[in-house]
Structure 1
Amino acid sequence: MYLLFRPDVLLEHGPHTSHDVILEDDIDPPFAPRTVVVQKNKPITDQYELLEFLGRGKFGEVKKCRERATKHLLAAKFIQINKEQDRTEAVNEIEIMKALQHPRLLQLYDAFETKSDICLIMELITGGELFERVIDDDFILTERLCELYMMQICEGVNFMHSCNIIHLDMKPENVLCLNRNGHRIKIIDFGLARKFDPDRQLKVLFGTPEFVAPEVINFDRIGYGTDMWSVGVICYVLLSGLSPFMGDNDNDTYTNINRANYDFDDEAFTDISDEAKDFISKLLVKNKDKRLQAKECLTHPWLTRRPKLVSTPKDEETAEKKLSTKKLRRFVIRRRWQKAVNALLALKRMGMTL
């Protein structure tokens, strides 16, 4: 894996900021950016060959597909429309994705709408979830790799926020590896994302318990900082395998979040640098307006240090030391179980509406 520090590069998927890390596989985007216009009441199979089933969620299912004209391999996400609210939310997701042309964000390629469903044709991501990959037996996770992953997450979030969009569902399952060989990641799932006007109050009451910010729990006004809290939780878990606010049940978890009740006392943080802990501490702040913004994260000392800039041999050793993924593996297994239960409940709900 090569890192190219080239702030002057303008990619087809949109410009990098001067702080962005350019990964070698950024140079060849999967396809040129497109102006997507929703095709209504047209058979998808006229333009795309539907291939194997990839997964299922609360929205419907995802299949691999191949565009007949170009032979591009893509992913088709089918959203079942049972009520008008489903259609409104699907159209919102399309509009959000149309605005987000950036290498760190899943790209929209095409869209179809019928009476019964809406289909999003998207970039195909083959590397699986980031957390699933780093717990592989043959994967060596170091703090420096964690820096690289968090840098990319912050780049993606920074671009979203620059477009006045809040993701509102940042969690490990929504950070995927582009492929199984490199270290490039993609942020996915914009189904809960919202356009944000700082001059208007926006409140939400949804999200994943372990990753939601205090203002969501309290149904207070949200902002860009709401995403940054979730980024802080992701970073904490990635480095340690521990969930900082996890309680015995959701109510206990919400209480811990409301108190911003966490620490770095576990042995998992023994070999983690002070810069990394400082980075997390400046995100897991109860007052959303005092959290680091995504743009500020990109200039934080933890994310800007480079091999040649590491000040001492001890710092270099810490950055390259293999991190134990034993606790992270347990975290991932628990999340898999939760996801399986949620999928079963979604299937049950879908069956009840048929």
Structure 2
Amino acid sequence: MIYVDENITPVDDVNTPFEYRDVKIKNDENPLDKYIILPELGRGSFGTVFYCKERQNNMELAVKVVGYKKKKEKIMMETEINILASLHHPAIIVIYDAFDYGNKLYCFMELIQGGELFDRVIETDFVLTERACACFIRQICDAVEYMHSKRIIHLDLKPENVLCISKQGNRIKIIDFGFARRYNPNKNLQVMFGTAEFSAPEVVLFEDIGPFTDMWSIGVICYVLLSGLSPFVGADDYETMTNVSFAKYSFDYAPFNEISSVAKDFLAELLVKESSNRMTAKNALKHEWLIQLDSLSPGVTLSLTKTKLKRYVILRRWRKAALSVIFINKLNKFSNSHFLKNCQI
């Protein structure tokens, strides 16, 4: 059986495979002169990730390759690379090198081989407890608090973007900063992208976003991790966004019978429709549920949660193409709907 090492402070003693580097995008240099690009690891909305090796020292890495035809597409990837290069935190993926060559941008990063967090949690021999959930969420909050201190917001926190460093330890890494933005509190910022199921009300209503937008997403991830249920998901993106706009959820489901009241309070302080009343990352790290993690009793194994989480992962993969990204036409349809014009929310 695999037990999360719940007695170690999660962000301590995490070693990266290489030192943090001052990464600048190299122009008109062929990355294939320095790297061997091997099998594909996965695809996202804005690029493909491959396994690769550095020719000089045979070091294993991952590389995200994004082709561009328009200046806007290029600027988006340049933004992601520049943001990653500025983040040095043990729970955030580390960038190694970057190239702009042949109308493609190449972002070389550390290779993380432990798989997605939810995939690891639903493995047959993994013991899922509330304390294990708190251990993972604390790391996410710690990384996000660091990002926010640098005025960077991720804007696409979801289970696929939280990876485990290994199959044995309790360490995670946040990945995929393709939607990340630098945040200026003196300027208004709205976005028309994200993943519907994990998007905050201010995103689907096209209102001002900020660090609080990431905190809503953490709340949804935590709710699913503790229960195996998704609080706002609907039959399609439109229904999901409608549910998010109401920001109504419930703990009246069987899996929550085994969850502590302090954990439910943690969720209740994140899943708040009014963004200004939502718990910040700094305050989340001071919340009783996370601050008392080291003394929190492991409690019972969350067997029902795990069963439902397995079903959730399977269904999410099945629906991924339909639920992955909120496109502008869906947001326009939503914001102009008769429902939204006439309801008080």
After TM superposition, the score normalised by the length of structure 2 is: 0.88
Instruction: Give the structure 1 partner of residue 258 of structure 2.
Output: 271
Counterpart for residue 327 of structure 1: 308
Q: What is the rounded CA distance, in whole Å, between the counterparts of 1:210 and 1:171 in structure 2?
A: 9
Q: Give 1:119's aligned amino acid.
A: Y
CA RMSD, aligned part only? 1.7
Partner of 1:350: none
Partner of 1:105: 92
Residue equivalent to 1:22: 11
CA distance in 2, matches of 1:59, 1:253: 23
Deviation (angstroms), 1:323 = 3.7
Structure 2 CA distance for aligned equivalents of residues 135 and 260 of structure 1: 27
Q: Does 1:281 align with 2:258?
A: no
Structure 1 position 161 matched with structure 2 position 148: yes
Higher relative contact order (CA 8 A, sep 6+): 2
Structure 2 counterpart of 1:175, from 149, 162, 173: 162
Q: Superposed, which structure 2 residues align to 1:113-132 within 5 Å?
A: 113-132=100-119
Cα pair 2:99 2:106 within 8 Å, conserved? yes
Which one of the candidate residues 80, 96, 119 is aligned to 1:93? 80
How far off is 1:317 after superposition? 5.9
Q: Distance in 1 between matches of 2:237 and 2:323?
A: 15
Question: SS of the counterpart of 2:23?
Answer: coil
Aligned runs of 1:29-68 on 2, under 5 Å? Answer: 29-68=16-55
Correspondence for 1:79: 66
Give the match for residue 212 of structure 2: 225
The partner residue of 1:200 within 162, 173, 187 is: 187
Residue deviations 1:222-269 (CA, integer Å, cap 9, x gap): 111000000000000000010101223322222221111101000010
Note the C-alpha offset of 1:340: 5.6
Question: 1:183, 1:332 → 2: CA distance?
Answer: 20
Distance 1:81 1:340 in 2: 22
SS in 1 for 2:69: coil
Partner residue of 1:259? 246
1:250-299 per-residue CA deviation (whole Å, 9 max, x = no partner) reads 22222221111101000010000001100000000011111110011111
8 A contact 1:90–1:191 mirrored in 2: yes
C-alpha contact (below 8 Å) 1:168/1:192 kept by paired residues: yes
Q: Give the equivalent residue in structure 1 for 2:336.
A: none
SS in 1 for 2:127: coil
TM-score normalized by the length of structure 1: 0.86
- Structure 1 residues 277-332: Cα deviation after superposition (integer angstroms, max 9, x where no partner): 0000000001111111001111100011145x44xxxxx363x4344311111111
Instruction: Write the letter of the residue equivalent to 2:77.
Output: A
Could you give the per-residue CA deviations for residues 103-155 of structure 1, whole angstroms, max 9, x where no partner exists?
A: 11111100000242000000101011100111111111110000000000001
Q: Tell me which residue corresponds to 1:242.
A: 229
- Quote how far apart the aligned CAs of 1:34 are: 0.2
Give runs of aligned pairs for residues 279-318 of structure 1, distance below 5 A.
279-307=266-294, 309-310=295-296, 316=297, 318=299
Aligned equivalents of 1:160 and 1:22: distance in 2?
A: 15
SS at match of 1:125: coil
CA distance in 2, matches of 1:134, 1:179: 12
Residues 30-65 of structure 1: per-residue CA shift (max 9 Å, x gap): 110100011111111211122222122222321111
Unaligned 5+ segments in structure 2 are: 325-345
Q: Within 2, Cα distance between the matches of 1:322 and 1:261? A: 24
The answer (yes or no) to whether the contact 2:49–2:63 under 8 Å persists in 1 is yes
Amino acid at match of 1:328: L
Secondary structure of 1:297 counterpart: helix
3-state DSSP class of the match of 1:226?
Answer: helix
